[in-house]
Amino acid sequence: MTNRAGFVRETFTALRKDSLGMTGLVIVVTILLLTLFASILSPYDPLEVDVYNRLVGPSWQHWLGTDQLGRDVLSRVLYGGRVALKVSLVAISVSMAAGLLLGMMAGFGPKWLDRVLVICFDTLRSFPTIMFALSIVALTGPSLNTVIGIIIITSIPVYGRIVRTQTQAMRDNDFILAERAMGASTAHILRHHVLPNIAAPLLILASMDVPAVVGMEAGLSFLGLGVSAPTPSWGSILNDGYSYLRNSPWPIIAGGIPLILVTLGFTFFGESLRDILDPKLRGKGGKF
């Protein structure tokens, strides 16, 4: 526990020296706080309809204006962040856990199992993501759970391949062979030696994947294949804004800004983490 706390402290200290990384961290934390406290910060109910104030511009009553039904855009953007946060956290956590398990099985297991898993990874990645999503939604219908499931299925091979490569690179190291000679079980070796060494690349990849996952959810919702109306989502806000762009540009501006900020924030943060945690980029010996 002490080593873990020291690792977090050392990482944050290095992050503070990187202005780009700190900028990304501030953006990420701000978005998370706005999303988590959306029920407190939202000035209106995001589903409240006010037909007498349709498509009005920014004002003291509605800071980002209203949409075609008179709903407050700011409130919908804040609550739409909850959808993006839920999709990204659930999808990335599950796909990373499954990819970690399957990747270590492929990298440390028998060759026949490695071949089978690699074929499965390649098969899943061979389908274009959008076409795969369209076919699944056509069979099951649009829903948030469907979007999460699509992202998980298409993301597992990415994590699995990285873990497999890292595990295979370590399996013949001297300290691994020494552990085997002393009778250590495969589970013990994977948990105490392999997992700590591949944690950093997975953390970096996960932070860089958040914008892609949020963008995929927004894209499917924009096409009407994601969350069902009237649930607020950044993609559905963009769809509404696009449909009434000539009447008011504010809904599409308000729906696009969070996507831009999420992309910039997590990209800056992920790049900084990569520079800090990657031993080759730091010019030091492997620490993890």
Mind listing the pLDDT tens digit for each residue in 29-52?
Answer: 999 999 999 999 999 999 999 888
Q: Look at 44-53, 72-81, 191-200, 260-269 and tell me which has the smallest mean pLDDT.
A: 191-200
As a whole number of angstroms, the distance between CA 197 and CA 104 comes to 12
pLDDT at 4: 59
Single pTM value for the model: 0.84
Largest CA distance in the chain: 78
pLDDT band at residue 6 under the 50/70/90 scheme: low
Share of the chain above pLDDT 70, in %: 93
Mind listing the pLDDT tens digit for each residue in 118-127?
Answer: 999 988 888 8
Q: Hey, where are the domains in the chain?
A: 12-282
Q: What is the mean pLDDT of residues 62-86?
A: 92
Q: What is the mean pLDDT of residues 11-15?
A: 76
In sequence order, which residues have a C-beta less than 8 Å from that of residue 180 and are 6 or more positions away? 189
CB 267 within 8 A of CB 208: yes
Instruction: Check residues 178 and 144 and name the one with the higher pLDDT.
Output: 144
pLDDT at 174: 75
pLDDT at 284: 43
pLDDT band at residue 287 under the 50/70/90 scheme: very low
Instruction: Check residues 236 and 133 and name the one with the higher pLDDT.
Output: 236
User: In angstroms, how far is CA 251 from the centroid of its own chain?
Assistant: 24
Distances (CA, A) of 1 to 150, 167, 195: 36, 24, 16
CB 251 within 8 A of CB 244: yes
As a whole number of angstroms, the distance between CA 223 and CA 238 comes to 10
Half-sphere exposure of 173 (CA within 13 A, CB side): 15
pLDDT at 115: 92
pLDDT at residue 262 greater than cutoff 90? yes
As a whole number of angstroms, the distance between CA 236 and CA 77 comes to 10
Instruction: Check residues 189 and 213 and name the one with the higher pLDDT.
Output: 213
pLDDT at 276: 80
Fold of 12-282: MetI-like fold (1.10.3720)
Spell out the SS3 assignment of the chain.
CHHHHHHHHHHHHHHHCCHHHHHHHHHHHHHHHHHHCHHHHCCCCCCCCCHHHCCCCCCCCCCCCECCCCCEHHHHHHHHHHHHHHHHHHHHHHHHHHHHHHHHHHHHCCHHHHHHHHHHHHHHHHCCHHHHHHHHHHHHCCCHHHHHHHHHHHHHHHHHHHHHHHHHHHCCCHHHHHHHHCCCCHHHHHHHHHHHHHHHHHHHHHHHHHHHHHHHHHHHHHCCCCCCCCCCCHHHHHHHHHHCCCCCCHHHHHHHHHHHHHHHHHHHHHHHHHHHHCHHHHCCCCCC
CB 96 within 8 A of CB 157: no
As a whole number of angstroms, the distance between CA 204 and CA 191 comes to 20
Q: What is the mean pLDDT of residues 235-252?
A: 89
pLDDT band at residue 278 under the 50/70/90 scheme: low
CB 126 within 8 A of CB 65: no
CB 262 within 8 A of CB 217: no
